[in-house]
């Protein structure tokens, strides 16, 4: 797999605050890489450093295996923190400036405005746009030179639910063309729905990194109850596939090893002559998993 | 030249730019027109003062007061880019920090060229109106004053650019620029011996458009040492290069 972005012990200190602390991540080609973390966890600072606008205190990074240059920048489209445009210029004029900087033809402008649904409003000045429209214009501008990599910092910020859904679909459709996407977000379910890989940041420190399926899928919890709880506990103690269990008044919470399900528990109980009065599978919420990742290491 | 094209995209639709250019043109024209009508000892000032070729020097001296206006314009254009966060976006989109400074420097050259061209037109208009002698040598005899004015204008605006990149906020940058040029440097110069004093940046720039009646003044008071125009031009160019480099280093050392 080709590595698109490789950061090596990247650190940034603002005065007494360590915004990013020895961050080493690798983004592979074709992945949708989520950088997940609460507000102030160093997501924007990290992206700012790899986008050449924030000077790292120490550490290094490469794009496509080389130091950042105009050439590498032209292969990356990015939206950092806020949509940045000239408020007194129309959407179209703003895009012409971006086109000149990126060295692409103005003919590219209308198609990208169409993709984000702003074609009709291209003669409106930027200051007349709603926050959602500004955000979409920024995405259009990132797409302008048809880059191989798209860096999006909180792309659904300020959008209404319909806009959020549209942007997520847009991201997925762009990714399906084989492009690499780096997405910073504080929204767990956004990362879970969109991303293939995730890095969890907290206080500038990398807490976990890997495919979304391994990082963000803790085991389901099963809750059972039976008339005779003591007997249930006795059986559970002998079942090899029960990882742990925890009685809670007349209920028992338990989690199982991989590849076993609630059906196995039910069967084992029945074989032992116990009839369960309740059997519930509770998916652990993403928030709970996230807090667990953060708590485990701090 | 692409950089200038990018800047023109931003500037041409910007009303502030046109307001400041119009203010310069109208005020300068009005001033020249009004003072030409002033009568001193029964003589209209226009008849004596507006004769070419000496008029070129007087014209550039008067115009040099408007450098402040252009400097404020440059400060506004640059600090705007900080508040719109477009400096940051341009770097993300592909420009280098050197190109950011270069782009603004092109704007400075363009503005200085426009104002110099405007002075040429004004000089020819008022000059030909009042000059009795109209040979080519009389008309263009001291035209190099326009060149000195151009260098001075670029110098002022480049210093303004440095203040803007350094301070980032328009109000503070304007105050800082005015404070330095009008108060701080003269105070420093006051403490310095003549020999060093004449090399200070504002003194060098000011020397490019000397006061027309300086010779008369010098006969009354002790003449203050000034540099020859050629040396002053050379030094001004050195200062311009330094202001440019400092601006670049400010951007290099800072987060955008």
Task: Tell me the C-alpha distance between A254 and A278, whole Å.
Answer: 13
A202 φ/ψ angles, rounded to the nearest 5 degrees: -145, 125
Question: CB distance from B253 to chain A under 8 Å?
Answer: yes
B34 touches B49 (CB < 8 A): no
Interface test with A, best of B84, B89, B103 (most A CBs within 10 A): B89
User: What is the chain B residue with the closest CA to A80?
Assistant: B89
Which pLDDT tens digit goes with each residue over A218-253? 567 788 888 888 888 888 888 888 888 888 888 888
Cβ atoms within 10 A of the Cβ of B133, count?
Answer: 11
Q: What is the pLDDT of residue B218?
A: 66
Q: What is the pLDDT of residue B249?
A: 96
Q: How far is B210 from chain A (nearest CA, A)?
A: 40
In three-state secondary structure terms, A247 is: strand
In three-state secondary structure terms, B237 is: helix
Do the chains contact at B10 and A53, CB–CB below 8 Å? no
Q: How far is B79 from chain A (nearest CA, A)?
A: 12
In three-state secondary structure terms, A298 is: coil
| H or E segment to which residue A119 belongs | none
**Of A53, A93, A102, which has the smallest distance from its Cβ to B88's Cβ?**
A53
Name every chain A residue with its beta carbon within 8 A of the beta carbon of B90.
101
Task: Tell me the C-alpha distance between A43 and B256, whole Å.
Answer: 16
Task: Tell me the C-alpha distance between B234 and B238, whole Å.
Answer: 6
| A132: pLDDT strictly greater than 90 | no
Q: What would the mean pLDDT of A142-159 be, rounded to a whole number? A: 91
A290 touches A229 (CB < 8 A): no
User: What is the chain A residue with the closest CA to B81?
Assistant: A86
Angle between helix axes A91-102 and B2-11 (nearest 10 degrees) is 170
**Of B5, B92, B95, which has the smallest distance from its Cβ to A78's Cβ?**
B92
User: What is the chain A residue with the closest CA to B7?
Assistant: A97
Name every chain A residue with its beta carbon within 8 A of the beta carbon of B96.
70
Task: Tell me the C-alpha distance between A129 and A94, whole Å.
Answer: 13
Question: CB distance from B168 to chain A under 8 Å?
Answer: no
ipTM of the complex: 0.89
| A296: pLDDT strictly greater than 70 | no
Q: What is the pLDDT of residue A219?
A: 65
C-alpha pair distances (Å), B224 with each of A257, B181, B195, B212: 93, 19, 10, 15
Distance of CA B28 to the CA centre of its chain: 14
User: What is the chain B residue with the closest CA to A52?
Assistant: B92
Do the chains contact at B10 and A74, CB–CB below 8 Å? no
Instruction: Name the class of domain A3-215.
Output: alpha beta
The position carrying tokens 């920090």 is: B97
C-alpha pair distances (Å), B75 with each of B14, B34, B35: 14, 30, 31
Q: What is the pLDDT of residue A298?
A: 55
| A274: pLDDT strictly greater than 90 | no
Task: Tell me the C-alpha distance between A179 and A174, whole Å.
Answer: 6
Do the chains contact at A89 and B10, CB–CB below 8 Å? yes
**Of B13, B85, B94, which has the smallest distance from its Cβ to A84's Cβ?**
B85
- Residues 6+ positions from A201 with CB-CB distance below 8 Å: A23, A35, A36, A37, A41, A42, A43, A46, A207
Q: What is the pLDDT of residue B196?
A: 85
Do the chains contact at B255 and A54, CB–CB below 8 Å? yes
Q: How far is B129 from chain A (nearest CA, A)?
A: 42
Do the chains contact at A101 and B90, CB–CB below 8 Å? yes
The position carrying tokens 């200062």 is: B239
Cβ atoms within 10 A of the Cβ of A143, count?
Answer: 21
Do the chains contact at B92 and A96, CB–CB below 8 Å? no
Tokens of A213: 């399926």
Helices (H), chain A: 43-50, 70-73, 91-102, 109-115, 131-143, 161-176, 188-194, 212-215, 229-238, 262-271, 286-297
Do the chains contact at B94 and A101, CB–CB below 8 Å? yes
CA angle (B64 as vertex; B61, B66 as ends), nearest 5: 135
A167 touches A182 (CB < 8 A): no
Query: Is the omega angle on the peptide bond into residue B235 within 30 degrees of 0, that is, cis?
Result: no
C-alpha pair distances (Å), B153 with each of B61, B158, B208, B246: 11, 9, 10, 18
**Of B10, B14, B94, which has the smallest distance from its Cβ to A102's Cβ?**
B94
Q: How far is A259 from chain B (nearest CA, A)?
A: 47
**Of B2, B9, B91, which has the smallest distance from its Cβ to A52's Cβ?**
B91
Which pLDDT tens digit goes with each residue over A87-96? 999 999 999 9
Angle between helix axes A131-143 and A161-176 (nearest 10 degrees) is 10
β-strands A76-79, A242-248: how paired?
Answer: unpaired
Interface test with B, best of A79, A94, A97 (most B CBs within 10 A): A97
Q: What is the pLDDT of residue A246?
A: 84
> A with B: how many residue pairs have Cβ under 8 Å apart?
67
Per-residue pLDDT of chain B (256 residues; tens, 9 = 90+): 689 999 999 999 999 999 999 999 999 999 998 888 877 777 777 677 788 888 899 999 999 999 999 999 999 999 999 999 999 999 999 999 999 999 999 999 999 999 999 999 999 999 888 888 778 888 888 899 999 999 999 999 999 999 999 999 999 999 999 999 999 998 998 888 888 888 899 989 988 988 877 666 666 666 666 778 889 999 999 999 999 999 999 999 999 8
Domain boundaries, chain A: 3-215, 221-282
**Of B13, B88, B253, which has the smallest distance from its Cβ to A93's Cβ?**
B13
B194 touches B224 (CB < 8 A): yes
Name every chain A residue with its beta carbon within 8 A of the beta carbon of B85.
82, 84
Cα maximum dimension of chain A? 77
- Residues 6+ positions from A50 with CB-CB distance below 8 Å: A5, A7, A10, A61, A63, A68, A151
Q: What is the pLDDT of residue A212?
A: 84
With a CB-CB cutoff of 8 Å, which residues 14-53 of chain B face chain A?
Answer: 14-15
Q: What is the CA radius of gyration of chain A?
A: 24
Question: CB distance from B131 to chain A under 8 Å?
Answer: no
Do the chains contact at A52 and B14, CB–CB below 8 Å? no
User: What is the chain A residue with the closest CA to B85?
Assistant: A84
Which pLDDT tens digit goes with each residue over A59-115? 999 999 999 999 999 999 999 999 999 999 999 999 999 999 999 999 999 999 998
Which CATH code fits A221-282?
3.30.70.100
Do the chains contact at A100 and B255, CB–CB below 8 Å? no
Q: How far is B247 from chain A (nearest CA, A)?
A: 16
User: What is the chain A residue with the closest CA to B5?
Assistant: A100
């Amino acid at each position: 797999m080709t590595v698109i972005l490789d950061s090596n012990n990247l650190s940034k200190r603002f005065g007494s605050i360590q915004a990013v602390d020895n961050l080493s991540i690798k983004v592979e080609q074709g992945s949708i890489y989520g950088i997940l973390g609460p507000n102030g966890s160093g997501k924007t600072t990290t992206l700012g450093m790899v986008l050449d606008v924030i000077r790292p205190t120490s550490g290094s990074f490469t794009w496509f295996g080389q130091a950042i240059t105009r050439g590498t920048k032209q292969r990356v489209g990015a939206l950092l923190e806020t949509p940045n445009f000239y408020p007194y210029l129309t959407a179209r004029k703003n895009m012409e400036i971006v086109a000149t900087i990126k060295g692409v033809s103005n003919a590219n402008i209308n198609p990208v405005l169409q993709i984000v649904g702003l074609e009709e409003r291209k003669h409106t000045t930027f200051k007349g746009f709603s926050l959602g429209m500004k955000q979409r214009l920024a995405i259009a501008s990132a797409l302008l030179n048809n880059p191989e990599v798209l860096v999006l910092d909180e792309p659904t910020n300020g959008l209404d639910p319909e806009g959020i859904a549209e942007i997520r679909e847009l991201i997925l459709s762009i990714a399906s063309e084989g492009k690499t996407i780096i997405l910073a977000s504080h929204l767990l379910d956004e990362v879970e729905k969109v991303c293939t890989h995730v890095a969890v940041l907290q206080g500038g420190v990398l807490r976990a990194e890997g495919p979304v399926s391994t990082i963000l899928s803790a085991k389901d919890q099963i809750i059972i109850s039976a008339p005779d709880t003591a007997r249930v506990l006795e059986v559970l103690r002998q079942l090899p596939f029960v990882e742990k269990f925890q009685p809670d008044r007349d209920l028992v919470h338990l989690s199982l090893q991989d590849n076993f399900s609630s059906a196995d528990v039910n069967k084992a109980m029945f074989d032992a002559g116990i009839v369960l009065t309740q059997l519930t599978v509770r998916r652990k919420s993403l928030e709970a998993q996230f807090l667990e990742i953060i708590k485990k290491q701090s | 030249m692409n950089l200038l094209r990018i800047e023109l995209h931003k500037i041409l639709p910007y009303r502030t730019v046109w307001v400041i250019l119009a203010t310069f043109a109208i005020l300068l024209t009005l001033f020249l027109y009004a003072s030409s009508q002033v009568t001193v000892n029964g003589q209209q000032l226009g008849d004596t003062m507006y004769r070419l070729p000496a008029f070129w020097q007087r014209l550039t001296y008067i115009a040099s007061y408007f450098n402040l206006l252009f400097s404020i314009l440059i400060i506004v254009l640059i600090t705007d880019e900080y508040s719109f966060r477009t400096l940051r976006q341009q770097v993300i989109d592909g420009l280098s920090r050197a190109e950011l400074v270069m782009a603004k420097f092109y704007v400075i050259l363009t503005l200085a060229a426009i104002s110099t061209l405007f002075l040429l037109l004004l000089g020819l208009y008022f000059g030909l109106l009042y000059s009795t002698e109209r040979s080519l040598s009389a008309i263009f005899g001291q035209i190099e004053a326009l060149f000195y004015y151009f260098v001075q204008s670029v110098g002022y605006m480049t210093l303004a650019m440095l203040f803007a990149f350094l301070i980032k906020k328009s109000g503070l940058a304007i105050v800082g620029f005015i404070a330095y040029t009008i108060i701080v440097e003269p105070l420093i110069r006051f403490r310095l011996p003549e020999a060093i004093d004449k090399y200070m940046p504002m003194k060098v720039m000011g020397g490019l458009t000397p006061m027309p009646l300086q010779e008369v003044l010098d006969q009354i008071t002790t003449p203050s040492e000034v540099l020859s125009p050629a040396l002053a031009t050379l030094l001004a160019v050195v200062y311009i290069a330094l202001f440019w480099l400092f601006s670049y280093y400010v951007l290099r050392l800072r987060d955008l």
